[in-house]
Amino acid sequence: MPTLNEQIQNRIFTTQYDDDTYYTQDLYDYLIDNIDDPDILFKHKILGFYKQKYKWTKEEALEFIENHLEKSRGYYVIDEWFSYDWGSGLNSITKDKMHSPHLDHIIPKAEGGTDHPSNMRIRTARLNQNKGDTNTDIERVATILDMISDLENPKKYAEHIIQAINEKLG
């Protein structure tokens, strides 16, 4: 059985037009015309779903794509790779929250953040959900400490956690 990463990377696009999959006929045509582009589903999702959701101009959506193309492919947790599944509707492979990308507000709306692309970043559904509406450092620390207390084998990950803190400290 192929891994989720392999399934995501080797997906076969549905050729059946469907509003939940392609949003509009123009976006369907755009995807079909660019089917060999390995980043087409990311571009499609930004130009379709997120452009509409956040009321971005086409230029703002294209700028977001340009600024986030590398991060749109996936991410590592320690040494394990998680490919993002940008597919919608019939092109979706999984609802696994470690593979499902979300756009996250850098400055939360509750703290005055906007929906502008410059205030958005790509996060997994799991990380975005865990972050929730934590707006202060003390709330974030409480969340981190709570999650550490839930680890079955904290010693296994301690070095990686300390390394991440040291990298943040510069």
Task: Measure the CA–CA gap between 169 and 163, rounded to whole angstroms.
Answer: 10
Domain assignments of the chain as residue spans, ordered by start:
4-135, 136-170
Task: Measure the CA–CA gap between 46 and 27, rounded to whole angstroms.
Answer: 11
Q: Indicate whether 132 pLDDT > 80.
A: no
Q: Which residue has the higher pLDDT, 52 or 136?
A: 52
Q: Residue 137's pLDDT is what?
A: 84
Confidence bin at 46 (pLDDT 50/70/90): very high
Please list, in sequence order, all residues whose beta carbon lies within 8 angstroms of the beta carbon of residue 69, skipping any fewer than 6 positions away.
39, 42
Q: pLDDT tens across 73-87, in order?
A: 999 999 999 999 999
Please list, in sequence order, all residues whose beta carbon lies within 8 angstroms of the beta carbon of residue 98, skipping any fewer than 6 positions away.
77, 82, 124, 125, 126
Cα 77 → chain centroid: 14
Percent share of the chain, pLDDT over 90: 75
Confidence bin at 61 (pLDDT 50/70/90): very high
Q: Indicate whether 135 pLDDT > 80.
A: no
